[in-house]
Chain A
Amino acid sequence: AQSVTQLDSHVSVSEGTPVLLRCNYSSSYSPSLFWYVQHPNKGLQLLLKYTSAATLVKGINGFEAEFKKSETSFHLTKPSAHMSDAAEYFCVVSPQRGNTPLVFGKGTRLSVIA
């Protein structure tokens, strides 16, 4: 079975400082992993995805994530936070075998302080 644990429900950073949103996963198979962002009153947008290629994945808006199999982690980072990054972030896992459903983490709310 697959599961996702987002270790922080809320992260607050100052504008211009680094962002780290933590995610650990559990999967019976080699998983695909995703980060989605949800801005207030807007739909989900795919930030980046890992599907067994390079372990360091670059996404949109300067975000990147590193797949670490030994630590079963897929943390999301950004070197310098911008006010527009304030949103809800979801870590998502999908097994690569078959069409089983996506499993969403509970989300991390990122606040950016001016």
Chain B
Amino acid sequence: SAVISQKPSRDICQRGTSLTIQCQVDSQVTMMFWYRQQPGQSLTLIATANQGSEATYESGFVIDKFPISRPNLTFSTLTVSNMSPEDSSIYLCSVAPLAGGSELQFFGPGTRLTVL
């Protein structure tokens, strides 16, 4: 399994500001994913981040709101832009090991975001 860390672990932000969340993995991985877990809800995939190409966004999520970077095989960032209280969620990154495709994923501890 991969060891995944996220920064920050939690933050409280003001409406209209932006927050960049970092995800670091202890080994090289092909695919990284960003999920959102709204309060009391399940996980929803925001986008898939591939190294060397633009992220692929799921329906309902756009690059202007959630820009993603993937500069190398061990690191990715997700920015939540122009935040509103509706963006208050836990944001999780996950990774798929190099050889396994995307079906087996390991998750980071999450970033708990509160927007006032």
Contact = CB atoms under 8 A, between A and B. Distances in A.
Contacts of B110: 43
Given A90-B42, A106-B41, A44 B92 contact: yes
Interface in B75-116: 92, 94, 96, 101-110, 112
Contact of A102 (B1, B4, B41, B102): B102
Contacts, number: 52
B93 to A, nearest CB: 10
Given A43-B108, A43-B109, A100 B102 contact: yes
B66 interface: no
A101 B106 contact: no
B104 A101 contact: no
Interface string A33-47: 010100001111110
Interface string A81-114: 0000000001000111011111011110000000
Interface of B: 1, 4, 31, 33, 41-45, 48, 58, 92, 94, 96, 101-110, 112
Given A43-B107, A104-B43, 14 more contacts: A36-B107, A44-B92, A46-B104, A49-B104, A94-B102, A99-B31, A99-B96, A99-B101, A99-B102, A101-B48, A101-B58, A101-B102, A102-B45, A102-B105
